[in-house]
Amino acid sequence: MTFDGSRYVSNAVKALPPSGIRKFFDLAAQMENVISLGVGEPDFITPWHIIESSFYSAERGHTSYTSNLGLLELRQAISDYLEAKHGVGYDPTNEVLVTTGVSEALDVAIRTLVSPGDEVIVIEPCYVSYKACVLLAGGTPVIVDTHVDNGFRVTAEDIASRLSDRTKAIVLSYPNNPTGAVMDCATLQRIAELAQERDLIVISDEIYSELTYEGTHTCIAALPGMRERTVLLNGFSKAYAMTGWRIGYACGNKHIIGGMMKIHQYTMLCAPIIAQKAAIEALRYGEEAKQRMVAEYDQRRRFIVERLNAIGLTCFEPTGAFYAFPSIAASGMTSEEFCNELLREQSVAVVPGNAFGACGEGFVRCSYAASLQEISEAVTRMERFLADHAR
Amino acid sequence: MREDILRILDENDQVDPATIATMLGATEDEVRATIAELEKSKAIVKYHALVNWEKVNDDLVQALIDVKVSPQRDVGFDQIAERIYRFPEVKSVYLMSGAYDLSVAVQGKSLKDVASFVATKLATLDHVLSTTTHFILRKYKEEGVILEDKAELKRLVVSP
C-alpha cells in the first residue's frame, strides 16, 4: 500500500485555503521574459552601507543568538525612532519584540491574543496572511469589505456593524497592500474610540508607513488611549529595501509583548543577529537612502496612475505603499481571467485583486516597485491587450 | 522642481518632458520651460550616452596623468589648463590640491598613442614641470554606474 501523506495533515491545515497568489505565481514562474508588476517588494537592493555594516559585524564574530527580545541596542533604536517619528515611545526592556519579519510578529500577536472561538475583524482587500493566521489560531476572521468609493478606507461604522461579544481584535493595515490606500487621522480617531468603547485590541500592521506620499502617516498607537491597546507591527523590509533580511518588530503593552515573547522564544528563539545588526545601521544612517527611494516611488506612482487611467483602467489615487489598484471593468473580465490572459498574451504579470479578498474582485494589483521603463512597457502592453479584447 | 528634473535626466536623459511632468505632478509646459532655462544656464551641459568602449574596442587606452606646472602671474593655472584641455585627446582636466596640480585624463587608440601624446604634446608645453602617467587597466564604475554589475536583481515574478 502506498503511503498517503495527506491523511496525516491536520484538519486545520487542510481547511486553510491556498493563497490566491500561489496559483498565479506557479503560472508566471513557467514563463520567460515576463515584465512583472506583480511583486510585493522593492526593486532596490538594500543600501550598501547597511549590507557592509552587517557583514562587518559578522566578520568580527557577531554570529550568536541574541536575547529573545532582540538586541537591546536595536530595541532602543526602534523606540527612539517611533518616539521621534510618531510621538509614541516604548520601554525597550519589555515593550519591544524584534521578530523575523512582520509576518512572524503578526502570527505571534494573533496567537497571543486569540482563543478558540474569538473573532477578529479583518479588513479586505488586505495582505494574504491575516485571515490565515486567525484561522490557524482557532479564531474566526470576520471580514469587513472596503470599496473604491471610499478610497478603500474602512470606517468605524463599518467595523461596528460586524462586532459581536466574541470580537477580540481588529487588524488594520494602512498604508494598504494591495490598494495603496492610506488612513486619515480623523477616521483613525473614530476607530480608536470604538476600540476603547468596545474593549478591543488593535493590531496595526504599519510596514508601509514610511511609504506615504501625501501628508504624514498617523500611527494609531499614538492616538489618545491607544498606546496600551495597540499591538504595533512594523519592520525594515519596505522602507529600507530589506525584505530578504526578515526583520520586523512588535511594540505594545508589556503583558501582550511578554506573551508574544513566550511563543517567539519557543518557535524562533530570536531574530537572526546579522539582520538585527543591519537594522541598527538602517535606523542610524539609513534616512538619506530611504528618502531617495521614497522620492523615486512617488514619481513612478504618479506616472503609473496617470497611464492606467489614460488606457481606461480607472485607478483611484493611491497615496501609500507601492501599489496601484485599478478597476478592470473596462475589460469585461474577472480579475483572474484578466491576469491569466494578460500574462499569456502579453507576458505582463499583475496580481488578481480577489487574491486579497472577495471585494478585490474587479481590480488588479500593479506594483510600481519596478523601473520606469518596465512600468511604461507593461502599461503599453496592457493597452494593447485591452484593444485586442475590445468588444 | 529644478533639482528633481536634473536628477531624473542625470539618471536617464531619454525621459521625455511629458513623462517628467507626470512624475513630478507638474505641467509639461513648466517642465519644458525649466529644462530650457537649465540648458541656457549650462546647468545641463549636454545629453550623452554613457558608453563602455571596452565592449567594442579592446585596444582603446585611457590614462590619468598627474601634471606639475608652474602657475603664471595674473592667470594662475587657468592658461596652462586651457592649453591642455583644448587637445581633443584630453577627456578631462581637474585642478587638484596636493602633490601635483592638474589631473589630466587622456584617451588614445593604443598605449603608444597615449605615450606619444604625453611625450610630444603635454610634457613639452611651457610651464609643465613634470608628468606622471598612470594607465587605466580596468574600469569598474563610471559616473556612478557599475559597469559590469554582477548583482542582478532576481526577485520572484509574483509575491504577496
Q: What is the CATH number of the domain that holds A101?
A: 3.40.640.10
| Residue B30 CB contacts under 8 Å (≥ 6 apart), including other chains | B1, B21
* Residue A55 burial (CB count, 10 A): 13
Q: Write out chain B residues lying below 8 Å of A177, CB-based.
A: 160
Give me the residue label for grid cell 519592520: A235
Question: What are the angstrom distances between the C-alpha of A273 and each of A48, A94, B69?
Answer: 18, 19, 54
Indicate if the alpha-carbon torsion angle A320, A160, A17, A341 is positive or negative: negative
Q: Write out chain A residues lying below 8 Å of B22, CB-based.
A: 302-303, 306-307
**Is the distance from CB of A106 to CB of A156 less than 8 angstroms?**
no
Contact: A302, B153; criterion CB under 8 Å: no
Q: Is A337 found in the same domain as A270?
A: no
Q: Is A37 found in the same domain as A162?
A: no
Q: Is A248 found in the same domain as A208?
A: yes
Give me the residue label for grid cell 496580481: A351
Q: Write out chain A residues lying below 8 Å of B157, CB-based.
A: 25, 28-29, 31, 34, 36, 38-39, 349
Q: Is A295 found in the same domain as A243?
A: no
Distance from CA of A80 to the nearest CA of B (A): 30
Domain boundary among A267, A286, A305: A286
Read out DSSP for A189-214?
HHHHHHHHHTT-EEEEE-TTTT-B-S
Domain boundary among A244, A266, A286: A286
Sketch the domain layout of chain B as residue ranges.
2-40, 53-138
Q: Is the predicted ipTM greater than 0.90, yes or no?
A: no
User: Would residue A69 count as lying in a domain?
Assistant: yes
B157 touches chain A (CB under 8 A): yes
Q: Is A56 found in the same domain as A22?
A: no
Mean pLDDT of chain B: 93
Q: Is A33 found in the same domain as A85?
A: no
The topology under which CATH files domain B53-138 is Alpha-Beta Plaits (3.30.70)
pLDDT recorded at residue B147: 87
Residues in chain B predicted with pLDDT less than 50, given as ranges, are none
Burial class (CB in 10 A: 0-12, 13-18, 19+), A2: exposed
Q: Is A316 found in the same domain as A210?
A: no
In this complex, the residue of B19, B24, B157 whose CB is nearest that of residue A38 is B157
> What is the domain range of residue A184?
48-286
Q: Which chain B residue is nearest to residue A300, measuring alpha carbons? A: B23
E strand intervals along chain A: 35-36, 96-99, 119-124, 140-145, 167-172, 201-205, 230-235, 248-251, 323-324, 348-349, 351-352, 364-367
Contact: B157, A39; criterion CB under 8 Å: yes
Residue type, B155: R
**How long, in residues, is chain B?**
160
pLDDT recorded at residue B54: 82
Residue type, A200: L
- How many structural domains is chain A composed of? 2
The model's pTM is 0.92
Q: Is A292 found in the same domain as A257?
A: no
B130 touches chain A (CB under 8 A): no
Using N-to-C axis directions, what is the helix angle for A372-388 and A287-310, rounded to 10°?
Answer: 20
User: Would residue A391 count as lying in a domain?
Assistant: no
In this complex, the residue of A36, A39, A303 whose CB is nearest that of residue B19 is A303
Q: Specify the pairing of strand A348-349 against strand A248-251.
A: unpaired
pLDDT recorded at residue A37: 96
Number of A–B residue contacts, CB under 8 Å = 63
CATH code (residue A34): 3.90.1150.10
E strand intervals along B58-100: 61-69, 90-95
CA–CA distance, B108 with A269 (Å, rounded to integer): 61
pLDDT recorded at residue B78: 95
Q: What backbone torsions phi and psi does residue A13 show, to the nearest 5 degrees? A: -70, -40
CA–CA distance, A201 with A186 (Å, rounded to integer): 19
In this complex, the residue of A29, A127, A295 whose CB is nearest that of residue B157 is A29
Q: Is A198 found in the same domain as A185?
A: yes
Of A174, A233, A163, A158, nearest to A197 by C-alpha is A163
Q: Is A172 found in the same domain as A73?
A: yes
Domain boundary among A260, A286, A312: A286
Burial class (CB in 10 A: 0-12, 13-18, 19+), A369: buried
User: pLDDT 10s per residue in chain A (391 long)?
Assistant: 799 999 999 999 999 988 878 778 888 888 888 999 999 999 999 999 999 999 999 999 999 999 999 999 999 999 999 999 999 999 999 999 999 999 999 999 999 999 999 999 999 999 999 999 999 999 999 999 999 999 999 999 999 999 999 999 999 999 999 999 999 999 999 999 999 999 999 999 999 999 999 999 999 999 999 999 999 999 999 999 999 999 999 999 999 999 999 999 999 999 999 999 999 999 999 999 999 999 999 999 999 999 999 999 999 999 999 999 999 999 999 999 999 999 999 999 999 999 999 999 999 999 999 999 999 999 999 999 999 998 6
In this complex, the residue of A25, A29, A303 whose CB is nearest that of residue B23 is A303
Q: Is A265 found in the same domain as A214?
A: yes
